[in-house]
Structure 1
Amino acid sequence: MHWFMLVFLWGIVSYTLATVIPDIFHLRNVGDGFFWTVAFFIGIIFTIWGVHIERRNAGEKIREENHKKEKENSIKQSLLETYGLPIDCPSFQYLNGYSSISNKASVNIWVGENSLNLLINGEDIQKYQVPIDNINFYSVKGDMKQEMETKGGNMSVGGTVIAEGMLGTAAAMKKNQVVQNIKTIDERKTIINAIVDGKNSFIFFDGADLYNYLLENLPEKEQSFVAMNK
């Protein structure tokens, strides 16, 4: 319970005890001090009760968060033991090129066991492995560019005059103001060229995050490195 609610309730009870009840029951001869004293102790009871409720709710929230973390850690531990999935393994958005994986699936990818491991962690968990020796190269293609997006400023002169009459000059100017925003467009794709099921395949992933991951964990298969070593 919020503290302002306690204060509000305390105020109502205090006012009622000190003013309304004595008038209703003709108890003015008892004295206002008695009723204010009673109101004070009732306020203390409200405060203790409120603190208890607040602590209980906070404790329940902490227990729920701990239970959620324990469940997540249990799932991660199970995936680690069953599939070898690292605890903090990154996921990447797959686009196309690997026939066994659904387009636009979220795929956990890591390098290990002399393979590039791909795991789809959904209702039906599936793991695929591409041996490092079967990877010809990987690269990143496409650009990340910025475009100026313009909004507003399309009101005619006549429309501006009418708007000034209806809204006032300042409001009309604001309504007719040109707003420009810089929009970032990432068209980059990570491409892995590998032999999959006996076929030379090009596997596409969205963005450059996978490229950066592979550059750290599998640098020898980056396209320019492969070209230099031929």
Structure 2
Amino acid sequence: MSLSSTTGGRIETPAKAAVEVPPNAMDADTEITLKRIQGDALRERAADEIKKSAVGEPIEFGPEGSRFNTPVTIELPYDPALTYDDDLLAIHYFNPLRRAWEALPTEVDRARHVLRAKTDHFSIYQPMGLAPTTAAQDEFSLRDAYAFPSPSRGGAAVTFRVQPGLAETVELRVYDLSGRRIHGSSDFTFRGAFDDGNGKGAQNTYDHVWSVSGVGSGVYTYVIKASRRGHTPITKSGKVGVIK
């Protein structure tokens, strides 16, 4: 279907995949396509690497690679039978250069079983959730949180690990003895159900690696905060040593 660059418009398939283009988002009138495509091994491996599973079909929005002057809104249906926590769903797009799926900030329409997100380009998009684990592993409560190695010697990177069940976000802050924050990040890698040998069995595990190249020897205080909507955040503090 062709959309006017001046007025924009909305296209929706019978399966509820849709795109809404605002006025003047395109430089010229454009034939817009929404095409259901087959899965392939490369994209499936990329999903496994980020511990995500598909909860709906991949859709190629075309012309693929098109870019917009202002973001467009895309919608993708999801199957509620394939997810156990709607809050953790997100639309992902496949980045062909990185050969990886990347998540978009996503709104969940539970009534229609549709995910909605904004994007500035067309690509392959798919609704995804966390790869299945057990209900006991997903329960939001602290199993363990620690930093290793401690002390770090000879510039070895420090890994901060937390096992809070199923979290939406995990944040880290590191302070020196004066209370000055020297490091902060929400870039934690979800490892799925992982048994680290702490006697608690396989647990949902989140890791963040901190390069200590920019700090001197000393003792540092860290605070890890895990959050999940509808639950009180989990906060754990501790100390980690660095010996250069």
Q: TM-score, normalised by structure 2?
A: 0.24
Bigger Rg, which one: 1
Specify which structure has the higher proportion of helix.
Answer: 1
* TM-score, normalised with respect to structure 1: 0.25
Higher strand share: 2
